[in-house]
Amino acid sequence: MNTIKVDYLIIGGGILGLTTAFNLGQIVDKSKTIVILESRSRCGTKASGNNTGVIHSGLFYNTESSKLLMSLRGGILLKKYCVDRGITLQPSGKLILAKDQEDLVEYEHRANYSNIRHQKLTPRELSLFDQELQGHSALYLPDVCNIEPNDVITSLVRDVKSRQNTKILCNEAFVNYIGSNTIITSSKLVFCFNHLFNTSGESSTQISRYFGFVKPYILVPVEGRYFSIGDNILTSKTNLYPIQDKSSPFLPIHVTYSERYGYLAGPTAHPLFLADSRLIQEILTATTLLKQTNSYFSYDKDTVKYILTNITMSSKVNVYNSLRTLIPRLNYQDISRSPKRGVRAQNLDISSGKLVNDFELFMTDTSTHFINPISPGFTSAFALTEYAINQSKACNY
């Protein structure tokens, strides 16, 4: 078997794989080789090309989380990238709506803490903004933008391919790690790398096991579906979010506005426990890891509550009821199913029974793994991969 030697091997051509290649390309010598392996026929066809496309402000994330830090810096870098490449950034802004002014106090503190531009709106000011939103108070975030994620993916693919000594190989999947920095792909290519980046989204936990990741995580695919809202209901052309239920790692059903899709409600967040045959294998691996560390399986009541509430959340009637808290006069026939949907790579820690609610990096001397690349992974990608490259030993040789 011929072995192909590369400096940097990246598994997965979503936003994290592409920004890893892009950021590496900016800092390493031109002679270094970079290869992305993407199991599908194109880059960005999983979570990265099917998300809502909101460049989040970070306001929904607690101050200790890396999601907050990464979305603050990532948002700046992503907007700069879009401006530099002429990608349309739609300055939709975001309204966080609450029945009670008191409910917005914590968000105001967070906005002040993180220097996020914001404006408080009384119910009267809000109804001048949009008649349909009457009865709420709001915090308005003017700097939140929306993008079409596939525009960013297309541009990054172009940038990455234009660098010398860089290749994207589609229809080529990581299959096995055989030690000594060597892997085998689905078409039996053998790659020997100096440093490997695992940015394989839904496969990242499984692939990280080959390199020694031992936390008892299983990946639960969580599907997000969307509903279109008739275009004669709202006038504000802005994103509408309710305040978040702190026990859930997912943003509640919200409304986004873009020129391309109009008003979309969603995404839902319902777990697909039986959708993926890999899950059984993951449960067996995680259970073995529990035994090895003398830990036990546990469950968490918030997780159980989330699962029970969301398992049926794809139904139109549930989405409608949830939307009525934002838009009280909405009629059932004003919403219809949209074909848009995407699946998140959500990990569950079976030793605590909790859903993992932050990004995680697992590193060895010669590999870096992005575990749990949940939302706001798109907003954060440039910053998260920049941070991972700096923390890893990838540029040390």
Ligand X SMILES: Cc1cc2nc3c(=O)[nH]c(=O)nc-3n(C[C@H](O)[C@H](O)[C@H](O)COP(=O)(O)OP(=O)(O)OC[C@H]3O[C@@H](n4cnc5c(N)ncnc54)[C@H](O)[C@@H]3O)c2cc1C
- The smaller minimum CB distance to ligand X, of residues 148 and 300, is found at 148
Indicate the helix (H) or strand (E) that contains 69.
helix 66-85
Residue 172 amino acid letter: E
CB of 236 to ligand X, least distance (A): 18
- The smaller minimum CB distance to ligand X, of residues 120 and 211, is found at 211
**What are phi and psi for residue 79, nearest 5 degrees?**
-65, -40
Distance separating alpha carbons of residues 191 and 366, to the nearest angstrom: 14
- The smaller minimum CB distance to ligand X, of residues 110 and 270, is found at 270
Reference 362, options 213, 181, 194, 200; nearest CA is 213
CB of 372 to ligand X, least distance (A): 9
- The smaller minimum CB distance to ligand X, of residues 35 and 139, is found at 35
Maximum distance among all Cα pairs of the chain, rounded to whole angstroms: 72
Preceding amide of 376 cis, omega within 30: yes
CB of 387 to ligand X, least distance (A): 14
- The smaller minimum CB distance to ligand X, of residues 126 and 196, is found at 196
CB of 252 to ligand X, least distance (A): 13
| E strands present in 122-216 | 137-141, 145-146, 166-170, 174-177, 182-185, 190-198
Supply 355's token pair: 């859903």
**What are phi and psi for residue 78, nearest 5 degrees?**
-65, -40
**What are phi and psi for residue 349, nearest 5 degrees?**
-90, 110
**What are phi and psi for residue 14, nearest 5 degrees?**
-90, -165
- The smaller minimum CB distance to ligand X, of residues 242 and 377, is found at 377
Angle formed at CA 70 by CA 46 and CA 111, multiple of 5 degrees: 120
Reference 138, options 178, 93, 175, 173; nearest CA is 93
Distance separating alpha carbons of residues 232 and 174, to the nearest angstrom: 48
CB of 329 to ligand X, least distance (A): 26
**257 CB-near residues (< 8 Å, 6+ apart):** 90, 92, 146, 234, 236, 237, 238, 239, 263, 264
* Sign of the four-CA dihedral 336, 42, 81, 344: positive
- The smaller minimum CB distance to ligand X, of residues 45 and 364, is found at 45
CB of 45 to ligand X, least distance (A): 6
- The smaller minimum CB distance to ligand X, of residues 56 and 110, is found at 56
**Residue 115 DSSP one-character state:** T
CB of 126 to ligand X, least distance (A): 23
CB of 326 to ligand X, least distance (A): 17
- The residues that touch ligand X, with contacts defined as CB under 6 A, are 11-17, 37-40, 45-48, 51-54, 56, 173-174, 199-203, 224, 267, 342-344, 370, 373-379
- The smaller minimum CB distance to ligand X, of residues 173 and 363, is found at 173
CB of 360 to ligand X, least distance (A): 12
- The smaller minimum CB distance to ligand X, of residues 137 and 191, is found at 191
Distance separating alpha carbons of residues 183 and 110, to the nearest angstrom: 44
